[in-house]
Amino acid sequence: MRDRARPASRRGPRAGRAVARSAVLVALGLALGACDGGEEAPTAAAARGRVFTEADLERIALGPADAPPGMEVFLGPIEGQSALPPFFSSDVEVATIDPDFGLRDARAVVFVRTRAGPDSYVGSLAVLFEDGETAAAAFQVFLEDRKRGGNAAESLAPALADQPAVEEPAAGFGGGIVLKGPLLYFALGPQASTVYLWRVGNLVLLVEGDDVVSDAVREAAELMNSRAA
């Protein structure tokens, strides 16, 4: 059964939802120590008016057919709210259960390398929100959580807090961010990794993987970005 937030039609008046949603996002941002984000870059601001649907999400999100050469599906496709825990901490997971977080649906898939050699992975996530404002707030929450190592930092390597990821602009990704550092994914161990995180309208998109397959990580991010263009 698909995990997802309740449809907007089952909630209270729109104004009430906006106030409640803002309270949820502010509270979560404080809990994670999220920055205020400031003004969006011009490219992100230009995309703010885009409104995607569930059908668009299906078209944009990566699936098994998009496995990079030499890789196969390890997890997924995962739908709804359950798509977020592989990438983010329990703080984010708990927040997304609240309908006022604004999450409508999500898709995730994780690929791993099938040939002999060091363990390598490429993971992707596409999250659909009610509107661009909610997506922009969630983007900041996701960014701060992923900089801290997300789910892996909680269970596998608290020491990563002393090795913060380096944050860089993601050229060509609508004001998005690239994180580079000794990130973790499940039991693959600390590896030099890269995370692409960006927003297009009411979508927040993420692709990450270790630097052994850095070209595949970049190509996967570019593919999802082109589908959202």
Find the CATH number of the domain harbouring 49: 3.40.1000.70
Residue given tokens 């993601």 in the structure block = 170
Number of domains in the chain: 1
Q: Taking the CB of residue 34, how many other CB atoms lie within 10 A of it?
A: 20
Q: Output the pLDDT for position 148.
A: 73
1 lies in some domain: no
63 lies in some domain: yes
d(CA 229, CA 216) in angstroms, rounded, equals 20
User: Could you tell me the residue range of the domain that residue 29 belongs to?
Assistant: 8-227
38, two tokens: 């400031």
pTM: 0.77
65 lies in some domain: yes
2 lies in some domain: no
22 lies in some domain: yes
3 lies in some domain: no
pLDDT digit of tens for each residue in the chain (229 aa)? 344 433 333 334 344 444 445 545 554 544 444 444 444 444 444 555 689 999 999 999 999 999 999 899 988 899 998 999 888 888 887 888 877 789 999 999 999 887 655 578 899 999 999 999 999 999 998 888 887 766 555 555 555 555 667 788 888 887 888 888 766 555 455 567 889 999 999 999 999 988 888 899 999 999 999 999 8
109 lies in some domain: yes
156 lies in some domain: yes
Instruction: Note the helical H segments in the chain.
Output: 14-32, 42-46, 54-60, 90-97, 132-147, 150-155, 214-227
Q: Which residues of 66-99 are buried (b: 16+ CB within 10 A; e: fewer)?
A: bbbeebeebebbbbbbbbbbbbbbebbbebbebb
List, in order, residues 6 or more apart from 152 with CB less than 8 Å away.
160, 183, 184, 185, 186
